[in-house]
Amino acid sequence: MNDTNTTKPQSPTRWLVALGPTHEPIDEVRFIGNRSSGRMGFEIAKAAQETGAHVRVLAGPCHLSQIDSLNDVARFQSAADLRALLTTDWPNFDVLIMAAAVADWRVAGEKLAGKLRRETPAPVLQLEPVAEILGNLQSHANQFVVGFALEPMEQMIASARRKLIAKKADCIVANSLQTLDGVESDARIVWPDGRVVSLDAQGAFAPKSVVARWIVQTISPAISQKCVH
């Protein structure tokens, strides 16, 4: 048989899934955080792993006991930690699922050493913006980026469309605020060609495990097209 006719078996796609909140330190005991449970990211990672993909999870400080059942998990605390992990890992992956709920602000200046005491005058926390991670990430033409958007229902699609461009993503998974910390999602996938798709035609809520499998299934053809091995 001629070598040129041999079909090279496709290696499994490599997925990087960032999930959960960030904790921005105040001192060595306290932090500024948010209510993200990390559940949607976990369910997507699990669903992708079930398709045979190699999945690495970057997990923020969330309390999902099942996370350790996944094959490859690294932990982070702050947005700066997550940025450092992504800078190292992303060049070695095909797909990024950026489901982490990254803080928008952190305490300015150096983290205070030790523990602020109750007797000290109540501190006034000066905050500074956390720099954008996803929109500043360097990706190459064969990598596929999924951004997330958490939005009030009435702004969901318009805002997801803005974030699609600002985050340089291949698609955005938009969720309404009600999904935060819950077990159900009303996710829509917003595509650059203007299409908006949901699991249910009416965009009703469904368990995150079900929505996650649908998301993996729905984005997979676009991933296969873009991520040539």
Is position 134 an interface residue for ligand CTP (rule: CB under 6 A)? yes
Residue with tokens 């998301």: 215
Q: From the CB of 134, what's the least distance to ligand CTP, in Å? A: 3
Q: Tell me the Ramachandran region of residue 20: left when phi exceeds 0, alpha when psi lies from -120 to 50, beta otherwise.
A: left
Shortest distance (Å) from residue 198 CB to ligand CTP = 18
Coil, strand or helix: which one is 163?
helix
**Residue 62 region, left (φ>0) first, then alpha (ψ -120 to 50), else beta?**
beta
Q: Shortest Cβ distance from residue 214 to ligand CTP (Å)?
A: 18
| Residue 167 is a binding residue for ligand CTP (CB under 6 A) | yes
According to the binding rule CB under 6 A, does residue 32 interact with ligand CTP? no
Q: Which is nearer to ligand CTP, 29 or 131 (CB)?
A: 131
| 148 belongs to the binding site for ligand CTP (CB under 6 A) | yes
Burial of residue 81 (number of CB atoms within 10 Å: 0-12, 13-18, 19+): middle
Residue numbers at the binding site for ligand CTP (CB under 6 A): 79, 98, 100, 102, 104, 130, 132-134, 147-150, 163, 167
